[in-house]
Amino acid sequence: MSIKKFIPNAITLLNLLAGCIAIVYVINEDYITAAFLVFLGIFFDFFDGLVARLLNVQSALGVQLDSLADVVTSGVVPGLLMFQLLNMAVNQSFEVGTWNTNRDLFSVEGSLLPFLGFLIPLASAYRLARFNIDDEQQNYFKGLPVPANTLLIFSFPLILEYQNSDLMNRIIINPWFLVMVILLSCYLLNSPHKLFALKFKNWTFKSNSLRYIFLAFSLVALIVLQFAAIPLIIILYVLFSVIFYKPT
Protein backbone atom coordinates (compact mmCIF):
# COMPACT_ATOMS: atom_id res chain seq x y z
CA MET A 1 0.00 0.00 0.00
CA SER A 2 1.37 3.40 -1.02
CA ILE A 3 2.58 5.68 1.75
CA LYS A 4 0.90 8.66 0.10
CA LYS A 5 -2.51 7.32 1.20
CA PHE A 6 -1.54 7.95 4.82
CA ILE A 7 -0.36 11.54 4.31
CA PRO A 8 -3.82 13.24 4.46
CA ASN A 9 -4.82 11.18 7.51
CA ALA A 10 -1.57 12.13 9.26
CA ILE A 11 -2.41 15.81 8.66
CA THR A 12 -5.91 15.20 10.06
CA LEU A 13 -4.36 13.69 13.18
CA LEU A 14 -2.28 16.87 13.57
CA ASN A 15 -5.61 18.73 13.67
CA LEU A 16 -6.76 16.44 16.47
CA LEU A 17 -3.45 16.82 18.32
CA ALA A 18 -3.69 20.62 18.15
CA GLY A 19 -7.21 20.43 19.58
CA CYS A 20 -6.14 18.16 22.45
CA ILE A 21 -3.30 20.47 23.43
CA ALA A 22 -5.61 23.50 23.11
CA ILE A 23 -7.90 21.95 25.75
CA VAL A 24 -5.00 22.02 28.23
CA TYR A 25 -4.36 25.71 27.53
CA VAL A 26 -8.04 26.66 27.83
CA ILE A 27 -8.20 24.88 31.21
CA ASN A 28 -5.11 26.84 32.30
CA GLU A 29 -6.70 30.08 31.02
CA ASP A 30 -4.05 30.72 28.36
CA TYR A 31 -6.62 31.53 25.70
CA ILE A 32 -4.19 33.19 23.30
CA THR A 33 -2.03 30.07 22.99
CA ALA A 34 -5.23 28.00 22.74
CA ALA A 35 -6.43 30.26 19.91
CA PHE A 36 -3.15 29.76 18.04
CA LEU A 37 -3.46 25.98 18.40
CA VAL A 38 -7.09 25.98 17.27
CA PHE A 39 -6.27 28.12 14.23
CA LEU A 40 -3.41 25.73 13.46
CA GLY A 41 -5.84 22.81 13.74
CA ILE A 42 -8.26 24.54 11.35
CA PHE A 43 -5.38 25.03 8.91
CA PHE A 44 -4.65 21.30 9.07
CA ASP A 45 -8.38 20.64 8.60
CA PHE A 46 -8.32 22.61 5.34
CA PHE A 47 -4.96 21.27 4.24
CA ASP A 48 -5.74 17.56 4.67
CA GLY A 49 -8.58 17.69 2.15
CA LEU A 50 -6.47 19.69 -0.30
CA VAL A 51 -3.63 17.16 -0.06
CA ALA A 52 -6.06 14.24 -0.46
CA ARG A 53 -7.41 15.80 -3.67
CA LEU A 54 -3.95 16.60 -5.02
CA LEU A 55 -2.74 13.05 -4.36
CA ASN A 56 -6.08 11.59 -5.47
CA VAL A 57 -6.33 9.48 -2.32
CA GLN A 58 -9.71 10.52 -0.90
CA SER A 59 -11.22 7.79 1.26
CA ALA A 60 -14.23 7.05 3.45
CA LEU A 61 -11.83 6.61 6.38
CA GLY A 62 -10.46 10.10 5.80
CA VAL A 63 -13.95 11.60 5.85
CA GLN A 64 -14.79 9.98 9.18
CA LEU A 65 -11.42 10.78 10.74
CA ASP A 66 -11.73 14.41 9.65
CA SER A 67 -15.06 14.79 11.44
CA LEU A 68 -13.80 13.05 14.57
CA ALA A 69 -10.88 15.49 14.74
CA ASP A 70 -13.24 18.43 14.18
CA VAL A 71 -15.47 17.33 17.07
CA VAL A 72 -12.51 18.01 19.37
CA THR A 73 -10.81 21.02 17.78
CA SER A 74 -13.94 22.80 16.55
CA GLY A 75 -16.45 21.40 19.05
CA VAL A 76 -15.10 20.58 22.49
CA VAL A 77 -12.46 23.34 22.58
CA PRO A 78 -14.79 26.27 21.71
CA GLY A 79 -17.41 24.81 24.06
CA LEU A 80 -14.89 24.78 26.90
CA LEU A 81 -13.82 28.33 26.04
CA MET A 82 -17.42 29.50 26.11
CA PHE A 83 -17.82 27.85 29.52
CA GLN A 84 -14.82 29.84 30.74
CA LEU A 85 -16.06 33.13 29.27
CA LEU A 86 -19.51 32.65 30.77
CA ASN A 87 -17.94 31.75 34.10
CA MET A 88 -15.98 35.02 34.03
CA ALA A 89 -19.07 36.97 32.97
CA VAL A 90 -21.26 35.49 35.71
CA ASN A 91 -18.63 36.05 38.40
CA GLN A 92 -17.45 39.41 37.00
CA SER A 93 -13.85 38.24 37.28
CA PHE A 94 -12.42 39.48 33.97
CA GLU A 95 -9.49 41.89 33.96
CA VAL A 96 -7.73 42.88 30.74
CA GLY A 97 -4.32 41.23 30.50
CA THR A 98 -4.94 39.06 33.57
CA TRP A 99 -6.76 35.88 32.60
CA ASN A 100 -5.72 33.77 35.57
CA THR A 101 -7.70 35.15 38.48
CA ASN A 102 -6.99 32.23 40.82
CA ARG A 103 -10.47 30.86 40.33
CA ASP A 104 -11.27 27.21 40.64
CA LEU A 105 -12.04 26.28 37.02
CA PHE A 106 -15.35 24.61 37.79
CA SER A 107 -16.34 26.82 40.71
CA VAL A 108 -19.44 28.44 39.24
CA GLU A 109 -20.81 29.55 42.61
CA GLY A 110 -24.28 28.11 42.19
CA SER A 111 -24.82 29.27 38.60
CA LEU A 112 -25.47 26.66 35.94
CA LEU A 113 -25.32 29.25 33.14
CA PRO A 114 -21.68 28.55 32.12
CA PHE A 115 -22.60 24.94 31.32
CA LEU A 116 -24.65 26.22 28.39
CA GLY A 117 -21.29 26.53 26.64
CA PHE A 118 -21.28 22.77 26.17
CA LEU A 119 -24.25 23.04 23.82
CA ILE A 120 -21.66 24.00 21.22
CA PRO A 121 -19.87 20.61 21.07
CA LEU A 122 -23.28 18.90 21.00
CA ALA A 123 -24.48 21.01 18.08
CA SER A 124 -21.10 20.65 16.33
CA ALA A 125 -21.10 16.85 16.63
CA TYR A 126 -24.66 16.68 15.28
CA ARG A 127 -23.76 18.96 12.37
CA LEU A 128 -20.67 16.87 11.50
CA ALA A 129 -22.64 13.62 11.63
CA ARG A 130 -25.24 15.10 9.27
CA PHE A 131 -22.49 16.27 6.93
CA ASN A 132 -20.98 12.78 6.75
CA ILE A 133 -24.19 11.18 5.49
CA ASP A 134 -25.25 14.02 3.18
CA ASP A 135 -24.11 13.49 -0.41
CA GLU A 136 -25.34 16.92 -1.51
CA GLN A 137 -22.76 19.03 0.37
CA GLN A 138 -19.97 18.83 -2.18
CA ASN A 139 -20.06 22.38 -3.56
CA TYR A 140 -21.85 24.11 -0.68
CA PHE A 141 -22.63 23.70 3.01
CA LYS A 142 -25.93 23.29 4.77
CA GLY A 143 -25.51 25.35 7.89
CA LEU A 144 -22.41 27.08 9.22
CA PRO A 145 -19.23 24.93 9.02
CA VAL A 146 -17.89 24.11 12.48
CA PRO A 147 -14.45 25.71 11.84
CA ALA A 148 -16.16 29.01 10.97
CA ASN A 149 -18.13 28.87 14.22
CA THR A 150 -14.90 28.14 16.10
CA LEU A 151 -13.21 31.18 14.54
CA LEU A 152 -16.14 33.28 15.73
CA ILE A 153 -15.89 32.07 19.33
CA PHE A 154 -12.11 32.30 19.54
CA SER A 155 -12.19 35.84 18.22
CA PHE A 156 -13.61 36.92 21.60
CA PRO A 157 -10.49 36.36 23.77
CA LEU A 158 -8.35 37.89 21.01
CA ILE A 159 -10.55 41.00 20.97
CA LEU A 160 -10.42 41.19 24.76
CA GLU A 161 -6.64 40.86 24.77
CA TYR A 162 -5.62 43.05 21.84
CA GLN A 163 -8.38 45.50 20.79
CA ASN A 164 -8.22 47.66 23.95
CA SER A 165 -11.88 48.68 23.70
CA ASP A 166 -13.95 49.05 26.85
CA LEU A 167 -17.14 48.90 24.81
CA MET A 168 -16.17 45.60 23.15
CA ASN A 169 -15.06 44.20 26.50
CA ARG A 170 -18.39 45.04 28.12
CA ILE A 171 -20.31 43.44 25.25
CA ILE A 172 -18.28 40.23 25.22
CA ILE A 173 -18.14 39.76 29.00
CA ASN A 174 -21.90 39.97 29.26
CA PRO A 175 -23.57 36.67 30.12
CA TRP A 176 -26.65 37.35 27.99
CA PHE A 177 -24.55 38.24 24.95
CA LEU A 178 -22.63 34.98 25.35
CA VAL A 179 -25.85 32.98 25.78
CA MET A 180 -27.22 34.60 22.61
CA VAL A 181 -24.04 33.63 20.74
CA ILE A 182 -24.35 30.03 21.96
CA LEU A 183 -27.97 29.69 20.88
CA LEU A 184 -27.32 31.40 17.53
CA SER A 185 -24.30 29.16 16.93
CA CYS A 186 -26.31 26.01 17.62
CA TYR A 187 -29.00 27.16 15.19
CA LEU A 188 -26.61 28.22 12.41
CA LEU A 189 -24.58 25.02 12.65
CA ASN A 190 -27.67 22.94 11.91
CA SER A 191 -29.75 25.36 9.87
CA PRO A 192 -31.07 24.30 6.43
CA HIS A 193 -29.62 27.39 4.73
CA LYS A 194 -27.13 26.71 1.95
CA LEU A 195 -23.82 28.55 2.36
CA PHE A 196 -21.17 28.82 -0.34
CA ALA A 197 -17.91 26.92 0.04
CA LEU A 198 -14.57 28.56 -0.65
CA LYS A 199 -13.70 25.91 -3.23
CA PHE A 200 -12.52 27.13 -6.64
CA LYS A 201 -13.14 24.84 -9.61
CA ASN A 202 -11.51 27.51 -11.77
CA TRP A 203 -10.10 31.00 -11.23
CA THR A 204 -12.46 33.06 -13.42
CA PHE A 205 -14.19 36.03 -11.82
CA LYS A 206 -17.50 35.19 -13.50
CA SER A 207 -17.70 31.77 -11.85
CA ASN A 208 -16.36 32.93 -8.49
CA SER A 209 -17.49 36.55 -8.19
CA LEU A 210 -19.14 36.02 -4.79
CA ARG A 211 -16.05 34.28 -3.41
CA TYR A 212 -13.67 36.98 -4.67
CA ILE A 213 -15.84 39.81 -3.32
CA PHE A 214 -16.17 38.08 0.05
CA LEU A 215 -12.42 37.38 0.30
CA ALA A 216 -11.55 40.96 -0.67
CA PHE A 217 -13.95 42.35 1.91
CA SER A 218 -12.58 39.98 4.57
CA LEU A 219 -9.00 41.06 3.87
CA VAL A 220 -9.86 44.77 4.11
CA ALA A 221 -11.91 44.21 7.28
CA LEU A 222 -9.04 42.33 8.95
CA ILE A 223 -6.58 45.10 8.10
CA VAL A 224 -8.89 47.85 9.40
CA LEU A 225 -10.62 46.15 12.35
CA GLN A 226 -8.09 43.43 13.23
CA PHE A 227 -9.62 40.65 15.36
CA ALA A 228 -12.89 42.55 15.71
CA ALA A 229 -13.42 41.86 12.00
CA ILE A 230 -13.86 38.11 12.53
CA PRO A 231 -17.44 38.21 13.91
CA LEU A 232 -18.38 40.67 11.14
CA ILE A 233 -16.88 38.38 8.49
CA ILE A 234 -18.83 35.36 9.80
CA ILE A 235 -22.08 37.35 9.86
CA LEU A 236 -21.55 38.62 6.31
CA TYR A 237 -20.62 35.11 5.14
CA VAL A 238 -24.05 33.93 6.25
CA LEU A 239 -25.83 37.00 4.84
CA PHE A 240 -24.00 36.84 1.48
CA SER A 241 -24.91 33.16 1.18
CA VAL A 242 -28.58 33.63 2.04
CA ILE A 243 -29.05 36.70 -0.17
CA PHE A 244 -26.78 36.15 -3.16
CA TYR A 245 -25.76 32.49 -3.37
CA LYS A 246 -27.58 30.28 -5.87
CA PRO A 247 -26.34 26.66 -5.66
CA THR A 248 -25.68 24.99 -9.01
178 lies in a domain? yes
220 lies in a domain? no
The whole domain housing 56 covers: 3-196
| Of 159, 45, 193, 28, nearest in space to 104 by CA | 28
227 lies in a domain? no
- pLDDT digits 0-9 by tens, 165-177: 999 999 999 999 9
237 lies in a domain? no
151 lies in a domain? yes
**Diameter over CA atoms, the chain:** 58
How many separate domains does the chain show? Answer: 1
> Cα(80)–Cα(38) distance, rounded to whole angstroms?
12
Q: Would you place residue 95 in the very low, low, confident or very high pLDDT band (cuts 50, 70, 90)?
A: low
63 lies in a domain? yes
> Cα(27)–Cα(58) distance, rounded to whole angstroms?
35
> 3-class secondary structure for the chain?
CCHHHHHHHHHHHHHHHHHHHHHHHHHCCCHHHHHHHHHHHHHHHHHHHHHHHHHCCCCHHHHHHHHHHHHHHHHHHHHHHHHHHHHHHHHCCCECCECCCCCCCCCCCCCCHHHHHHHHHHHHHHHHHHHHCCCCCCCEEECCCHHHHHHHHHHHHHHHHHCCCHHHHHHHCCHHHHHHHHHHHHHHHCCCCEEECCCCCCCCHHHHHHHHHHHHHHHHHHHHHHHHHHHHHHHHHHHHHHHHCCCC
Q: Would you place residue 100 in the very low, low, confident or very high pLDDT band (cuts 50, 70, 90)?
A: very low
Tell me the residue type at 79: G
- pLDDT digits 0-9 by tens, 28-41: 999 999 999 999 99
222 lies in a domain? no
What predicted TM-score, i.e. pTM, was given to this entire model?
A: 0.89
Give the contacts of 201 (CB within 8 A, at least 6 positions apart): 207
107 lies in a domain? yes
CATH code for the domain of 53: 1.20.120.1760
pLDDT given for residue 110 in this prediction:
57
Virtual torsion, Cα 177, 178, 181, 183, nearest 10 deg? -110
